[in-house]
Amino acid sequence: MMVKKVILALLLVICFVSVQAQTNDKDQKPLEKIADPDNLASEYFSQIMGVALSATSNLKLYQFVYDWIGTPYRLGGGTKKGIDCSGFAFELYNKVFSTLIGNNSRNIFSMVNPISKSELKEGDLVFFKIGSRSITHMGVYMGNNKFAHASTSKGVMISDLDEAYWRKYYYKGGRLLASLRD
């Protein structure tokens, strides 16, 4: 009985956050946070997505990623039927930060200030060179060394930058140029 009440409470919080995000979309400024005074949504996303969230976390970012988890990979895709890594970043930046970015990982990299891994913050972009001299993959940093991306094998998922595979191919982090966020 208690478990049902907790699940119901979490679902209500998620619905509230989702409705709040939809009603604020038109007037929202980039990087604006959604209020979560009891931290219920933060706790929920922390458990479900394996990312530790704080009261200052951007819940709209986490809601967006959560909604896309499991979406299959499709090169050139940009919908829930299939999406690639740059399409996922494009959709995320458009919906969460009301900012339009490029349509492929190399072109998006040209729109950022490169930053070190230690400087990464929620919403920053991470770039990889997998079997190539040029950037071939990207994702969106979620905090605590985790990033969301569209994997060719598992679709949209969250991975850890400390995993051997990602550590091997990591190229750089990047923060969108201030002129593009305004």
DSSP per-residue letters across 49-70:
HS----TTS-HHHHHHHHHHTT
- Choose, from 85, 108, 140, 150, the residue flagged as catalytic: 85
Pair 170, 126: CB distance under 8 Å: yes
Is 58 annotated in the active site? no
Averaged pLDDT for residues 145-154: 95
Where is 21: in which H helix or E strand? helix 2-24
The DSSP call for residue 170 is: E
- Choose, from 51, 91, 108, 137, the residue flagged as catalytic: 137
- Choose, from 138, 149, 173, 174, the residue flagged as catalytic: 149
Single pTM value for the model:
0.74
Is 15 annotated in the active site? no
Is 2 annotated in the active site? no
State the Cα–Cα distance between residues 56 and 33, nearest whole angstrom.
Answer: 8
* Strand residue runs (E) in the chain: 78-79, 82-83, 112-115, 125-128, 137-143, 146-151, 155-160, 170-176
pLDDT digits (tens, 9 = 90+) for 30-78: 434 445 545 555 666 666 666 666 655 678 898 899 899 999 999 999 9
